[in-house]
Structures are given as C-alpha cells and as structure tokens.
Amino acid sequence: MPKTLLAVFAHPDDETFGPGGTLAKYAAEGVAVHLVCATRGEVGESDLDDLGDCEDLACQREQELRCAADVLGMMDVHFLGYQDSGMAGSPANKHPRALIQADPNVLAEQVADWMCRLQPQVVLTFDPYGAYGHPDHIAIYRATVAAYERLPEGERPQKLYFTAIMQTLLKWTVWIMPLFGFDPKAVGKNKDIDLRAALDHALPITTKIDVGPYYDAKRQAAVCHRSQLSGPGPFWDRLPQWLVRRAQSTETFHRASPPLRQGERIERDLFANTGLEV
C-alpha cells in the first residue's frame, strides 16, 4: 500500500505558510502528498501591481499554489470550487458561493469523497480555531473532522492531525512583538489577526517534525505566492535570520485521532504506528 498524506486547507498559501516543511519532507521521502484546497483565495488585495497573464486574482493565486506544490513535491492539488469568504464580518462572507455559506453536510461529503479516492493514512487540517480565527479555516476544519468521522472505521484514514503552534513560541512572540513596535492583537497586512486570541485557543502539541533540511524548500514555495509576499508580516523580518530559521525548522501538530494516550511520548513521525513508518 502506498504511503499517502492528504492536507485539507482553505486557501492557496495555507499549505506553505503552515506545514510546508512537513509536506516537503514527506514528499521527498516518497510519500504521495495531496492537497485539497477549498477556494482559490480570490478575496483580498494583491501585493503585486498586475495579474500577469491572468484575468483575475483567483487565476493568479491558483498559479501560485501550483508553483508552490511543485516546489514542495506534492503529487497533486484538488480544488473544491468555493469562493474565499474573507475575514469575519467582511461583505464577502455573504456571497452565495462563499465557503462559509456552503451546506456543511455537502462540504463534508466532498472532503470524504477525496479521502475515499486517495486513501491516505494521514490527514492534516486546521485546528478548531482555524489558526487565527479565519472563518474559512474553521469551516474546512469542521468539514474535515466530519468527513473523517462519517467514514466507517475500516475505511477512514488511520490518523488525523491539526496544525498547531507551540505555545512557548507563541508566548514569546506575543511578548517580544511590542518591543519591536508591533501589536500582537493586530498582526498582518490588514491588522486583523489577534495572536493573543490564538494563544488562548492553542492546543497541546503531540507531534514535532524536524523540517530543518526542508527549510529552504519552504522558503522557495513561499516565494511562489508572490501576491501574498507580506506573508506573516514584517515582524519576522526584524529578527535575526538564524533565529527565524531555528524557530521554523520544527513544525508541530496536535494528533486528534487517535488521541495521545497517557504516558505516550511526543511523536516524531506522522506515520508512526501506521505500519508504514517512513
């Protein structure tokens, strides 16, 4: 049976700025890495002056995602065809094709269908807070969990993971940002990300993946997302690059299913105990 990893996210760039190093690592080790992306990230402003050979932002961000997928070594990208809903409270929330307007049962069935087609042993998606409260992130988290749970036990993936940031790192970030003149409650290009709220919703870390050898691949994939080059924001640019590299050389996750047993050690491999360890 081929080793297969399925990542389920909401927008182009979620795969890179989140678990990009992990996806690159497993792809390099021969795992078939697939991505289900719910939208084409068409809501928002572009960091570029023109769309190149594209007619709209959706086309541009799809091209960027396919570029990043190639860099990370993914097998394929599969779109669900919804529209980006934008941040909570934005007019885009009300668009009839917006992801958050989707019938939850239909959305879960679509994700379950990809699980059945690809038969991954491991699935990755967002945590319940959607990393920083983005409504699309939360919607795709809910759909992925519902899809996983509705499959019969013998047909569902063996393991389900949520992306998660280490609380210690997040606490230090929240503490240090004001020293550099940044507000941790107003992060990002539009100042609409609250890291203090993210810290309040942080899950325990069950799994740590060493992605140091794939740090450069993740950085190169980030460059593919040219319209999103503001990325996490200017704060990280103010830090020494050796420190940024060290912080980003380990990616962390919360194993949702099966849950970590009492006394079980932190995992170092998403495929541990699947019978298909890398």
Where does the pLDDT of residue 245 fall: very low under 50, low under 70, confident under 90, or very high at 90 and above? confident
Q: Of 241 and 259, which is predicted with more confidence?
A: 259
Model confidence over 36-80: pLDDT tens digits? 999 999 987 776 777 778 889 999 999 999 999 999 999 999 999
Model confidence over 85-109: pLDDT tens digits? 998 889 999 999 999 999 999 999 9
pTM of the model: 0.93
> Closest Cα partner for 71 from 189, 221, 201?
221
> Closest Cα partner for 150 from 106, 120, 118?
106
The answer to whether 175 touches 156, Cβ cutoff 8 Å, is no
The answer to whether 5 touches 270, Cβ cutoff 8 Å, is yes
Sorted by where each starts, the structural domains of the chain and their CATH numbers stand as 4-163+204-232+251-257 (3.40.50.10320)
Taking residues 234-243, report their average pLDDT: 71
Model confidence over 185-219: pLDDT tens digits? 888 777 778 899 999 999 999 999 999 999 999 99
Given phi > 0 = left and psi -120 to 50 = alpha, else beta, which region is 30? left
Taking residues 1-14, report their average pLDDT: 95
Percent share of the chain, pLDDT over 70: 94
Asked whether residue 20 carries a pLDDT value surpassing 60, the answer given is yes
Strand 122-125, strand 32-39: pairing: unpaired
- Mean pLDDT computed over every residue of the chain: 91
Taking residues 15-26, report their average pLDDT: 97
